[in-house]
């Protein structure tokens, strides 16, 4: 294991790592596995960005096709099939006892969902490159177009490494059994606009805290103290259960990442999120309200 990246043990430690630490680790005798998960909701494909230049040794993994299941009743980005995910991660060189670093273009959301997926799958040592590819380039670190052929990994997916909410559990949090955080922008939360899903609004009782505010303009995650204060302002305090959702479980993973940095590794992700919630017309929909 690289001495430059401290191991994550049972959810402890900072889930984010900076450029300098990753650069040092890549130059060590046993570098981490690096996964490029650049992605855009409306395209173009992140693979094109990868082909144009990526971190040395990085392997591209497709968020839509390889880290999530097919869209349907479970939402637009449901959980992947464990056996299929095992094949994808082994092909990318992921080992059970080797650290993994994931990065995206810099916004942090796709990388957070990749981080969450690997942690849910049972890998305890996964980090997000703070600021992503943009931060790497800004620091003057090397970029390559060479595509590596990693040795097959030995990682076997063991679901359950991080907690997951289903629709019923999300409803209970919204009803007062904890705090359910809607991480979308306020107009979507209030039901004023809905650019993707067929119904606008939010889960009744959910509070709004946009995940975009958990990071600075450069995409770097805010400090643990700042994040703790932001979450406390909407009722996320010690001993209170907390879960997060968004449109399809990608941007909410970024809020779960922020909650981990803030000291809440028990935070749960509603993977199906709003895209699953609205598939059942009997589920209630709330509108209006203010951001947290």
Domain parsing of the chain, residue ranges: 16-138, 164-277
Which pLDDT value is given to residue 122? 98
Which pLDDT value is given to residue 205? 98
Work out the average pLDDT over 76-96: 97
Which pLDDT value is given to residue 44? 78
Which pLDDT value is given to residue 232? 98
Pick the catalytic residue: 8, 246, 262, 278? 246
pLDDT exceeds cutoff 90 at 8:
no
Q: Does domain 16-138 have CATH number 3.30.365.10?
A: no
Which pLDDT value is given to residue 290? 60
* Sheet with 207-208: strands ordered across: 164-165, 268-270, 242-245, 179-182, 207-208
Which pLDDT value is given to residue 45? 79
Which pLDDT value is given to residue 22? 97
Pairing mode of beta strands 100-103, 164-165 = unpaired
Which pLDDT value is given to residue 289? 85
Partners of residue 221 on adjacent β-strands:
215
Rounded Cα–Cα distance for residues 15 and 258 (Å): 9
Which pLDDT value is given to residue 102? 98
Question: How many C-beta neighbours within 10 Å does residue 91 have?
Answer: 14
Q: What region does 287 belong to: left with phi over 0, alpha with psi -120 to 50, or beta?
A: beta
* Sheet with 126-129: strands ordered across: 16-17, 126-129, 100-103, 33-36, 59-60
Rounded Cα–Cα distance for residues 127 and 264 (Å): 16
68 catalytic? Reply is no
Which pLDDT value is given to residue 10? 33
Rounded Cα–Cα distance for residues 286 and 238 (Å): 27
User: Do the domains 16-138 and 164-277 sit in the same CATH topology, yes or no?
Assistant: yes
Which pLDDT value is given to residue 5? 54
Encode pLDDT of 9-31 as tens digits.
333 489 999 999 999 999 999 89
Encode pLDDT of 107-133 as tens digits.
999 999 999 999 999 999 999 999 999
The answer to pTM > 0.75 is: yes
| H helix or E strand, kind and range, residue 66 | helix 63-66
Question: How many C-beta neighbours within 10 Å does residue 286 have?
Answer: 16
Which pLDDT value is given to residue 124? 93
Average pLDDT of every residue of the chain: 94
pLDDT exceeds cutoff 50 at 1:
no
Encode pLDDT of 237-284 as tens digits.
999 999 999 999 999 999 999 999 999 999 999 999 999 999 999 999
Percent of the chain with pLDDT over 70: 95
Work out the average pLDDT over 201-220: 96
Rounded Cα–Cα distance for residues 278 and 127 (Å): 32
Encode pLDDT of 165-195 as tens digits.
999 999 999 999 999 999 999 999 999 999 9
- CATH fold, domain 164-277, is Oxidized Rhodanese; domain 1 (3.40.250)
Planar angle of CA 67, 101, 216, nearest 5 degrees: 95
């Amino acid at each position: 294991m690289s001495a430059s990246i401290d191991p994550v043990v049972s959810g402890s430690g900072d889930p984010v790592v900076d450029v300098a630490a990753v650069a040092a680790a890549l130059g060590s005798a046993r570098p981490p596995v690096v996964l490029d998960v650049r992605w855009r909701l409306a395209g173009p494909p992140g693979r094109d960005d990868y082909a144009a230049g990526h971190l040395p040794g990085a392997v591209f993994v497709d968020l839509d096709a390889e880290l999530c299941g097919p869209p349907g009743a479970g939402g637009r980005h449901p959980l992947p099939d464990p056996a299929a995910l095992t094949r994808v991660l082994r092909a990318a060189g992921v080992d059970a006892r080797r650290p993994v670093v994931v990065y995206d273009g810099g916004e942090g959301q796709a990388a957070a969902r990749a981080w969450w997926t690997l942690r849910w799958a049972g890998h305890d040592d996964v980090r997000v490159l703070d600021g992503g590819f943009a931060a790497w380039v800004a620091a003057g670190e090397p970029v390559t177009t060479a595509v590596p052929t990693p040795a097959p990994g030995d990682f076997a997916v063991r679901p359950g490494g991080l907690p997951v909410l289903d629709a019923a559990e999300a409803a209970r949090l919204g009803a007062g059994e904890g705090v359910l955080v809607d991480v979308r922008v306020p107009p979507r939360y209030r039901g004023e606009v809905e650019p993707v899903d067929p119904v606008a609004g939010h889960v009744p009782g959910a509070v709004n805290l946009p995940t975009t505010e958990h990071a600075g303009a450069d995409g770097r995650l805010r400090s643990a103290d700042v994040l703790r204060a932001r979450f406390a302002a909407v009722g996320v305090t010690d001993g209170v259960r907390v879960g997060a959702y968004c449109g399809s479980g990608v941007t909410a993973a970024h809020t779960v990442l922020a909650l981990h940095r803030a000291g809440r590794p028990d935070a749960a992700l509603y993977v199906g999120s709003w895209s699953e919630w609205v598939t059942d017309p009997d589920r209630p929909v709330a509108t209006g309200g203010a951001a947290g």
